[in-house]
């Protein structure tokens, strides 16, 4: 299938590893121009080296106002076709173990910067009467995940503002959707497995197997499994899909919402 994205400009935040890197690579492989953003310059440069003609790099913490401003400057007057909004989540914790300062920080790391970035990007898309925005969140927005109370709570707020905004701009050729991954084999999940191993006294392998057994397919997902859907959502083919939260979880979520 021709995704009709060759030479078109996309932004991928959190693109140095995991889900973001997989999506960036697929966009680049399809001939898109991709502005790669993450904090790790070395990893971004390695990715750029593989696709030197089409990859641009912006090193910086996308949760900061300064990096968002620099991103808008680098886009300039070019037409932006789509953006993947993606970054790491807050630390694992139970509700009882959290302190109020952790909730304040989670607001900044999960919600605030996405609102700020969306407000900065949206006028560019409105000027062109076209745009695709995809947010990477978590399957926890449909079914809470144990020991992730900060993520479980704040990511629901992201879904709320994305759904609301999708209704406001639907007639302007702009779509917004949330991809909600389950247990994918990324460094983020490895950190959660390590954390649970320390809390429970189980081995890392035992905890990993327990995660796998929570899914209907009995396995972890790979980043590439999710990337194919995310890139399609960033393409013109997804024009009739907006305001949706799509779970990619191997059957982890048991409810029907």
Asked, for residue 162, whether it belongs to a domain, the answer is yes
Asked, for residue 196, whether it belongs to a domain, the answer is no
Q: Does residue 84 contact residue 136 with C-beta atoms inside 8 Å?
A: yes
Asked, for residue 171, whether it belongs to a domain, the answer is yes
Mean pLDDT score across all residues of the chain = 94
At 89 the pLDDT is 87
Give the C-alpha separation, 255 to 152, whole Å.
16
Asked, for residue 148, whether it belongs to a domain, the answer is yes
Q: Tell whether the model's pLDDT for residue 110 goes beyond 80.
A: yes
Q: pLDDT tens across 42-85, in order?
A: 999 999 998 878 999 999 999 999 999 999 999 999 999 999 99
Q: Domain range holding 116?
A: 9-182+222-248
| Token reading at 205 | 């392998």
At 257 the pLDDT is 59
Q: Which residue has 């905890």 as its token pair?
A: 207
Give the C-alpha separation, 78 to 90, whole Å.
33
At 198 the pLDDT is 87
At 194 the pLDDT is 86
- The C-alpha R_g of the chain, in whole angstroms, comes to 18
Whether the pTM exceeds 0.85: the reply is: yes
Where residue 69 sits, what CATH number does that domain have?
3.40.50.720
Residues in the chain: 257
Phi/psi at 38 (5° precision):
-175, 175
Residue 30's pLDDT band (boundaries 50, 70, 90)?
very high
Nearest to 219 by CA among 183, 180, 179, 255: 183
Asked, for residue 203, whether it belongs to a domain, the answer is no
At 195 the pLDDT is 79
Domain count, the chain: 1
What pairing do the DSSP bridges indicate for beta strands 55-59 and 80-85?
A: unpaired
Asked, for residue 17, whether it belongs to a domain, the answer is yes
Asked, for residue 187, whether it belongs to a domain, the answer is no
Q: Which residue has 């050729």 as its token pair?
A: 173
Q: pLDDT tens across 161-202, in order?
A: 999 999 999 999 999 999 999 999 888 788 878 878 888 899
Phi-psi region of 4 (alpha: psi -120 to 50; beta: other; left: phi over 0): left
| Token reading at 12 | 């991928």
Q: Tell whether the model's pLDDT for residue 34 goes beyond 90.
A: yes
């Amino acid at each position: 299938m021709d995704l009709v994205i060759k030479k078109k400009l996309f932004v991928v935040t959190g693109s140095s590893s995991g889900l973001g890197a997989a999506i960036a690579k697929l966009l680049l492989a399809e001939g898109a121009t991709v502005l790669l953003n993450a904090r790790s310059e070395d990893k971004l440069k390695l990715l750029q080296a593989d696709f030197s003609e089409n990859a641009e790099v912006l090193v910086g913490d996308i949760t900061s106002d300064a990096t968002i401003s620099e991103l808008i400057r680098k886009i300039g007057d070019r037409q932006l076709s789509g953006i993947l909004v993606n970054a790491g989540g807050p630390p694992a914790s139970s509700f009882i173990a959290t302190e109020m300062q952790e909730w304040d920080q989670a607001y900044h790391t999960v919600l605030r910067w996405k609102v700020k970035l969306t407000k900065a990007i949206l006028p560019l898309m409105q000027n062109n009467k076209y745009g695709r925005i995809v947010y990477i969140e978590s399957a926890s927005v449909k079914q809470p995940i144990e020991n992730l109370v900060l993520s479980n709570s704040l990511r629901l707020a992201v879904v709320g503002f994305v759904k609301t905004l999708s209704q406001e701009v639907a007639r302007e050729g702009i779509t917004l959707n949330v991809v909600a991954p389950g247990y994918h084999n990324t460094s983020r999940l490895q950190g959660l497995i390590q954390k649970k191993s320390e809390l429970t006294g189980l081995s890392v392998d035992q905890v990993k197997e327990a995660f796998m057994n929570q899914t209907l397919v009995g396995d972890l997902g790979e980043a590439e499994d999710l990337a194919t859907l995310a890139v399609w959502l960033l393409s013109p083919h997804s024009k009739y899909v907006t305001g949706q939260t799509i779970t990619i979880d191997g059957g982890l979520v048991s409810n029907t919402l």
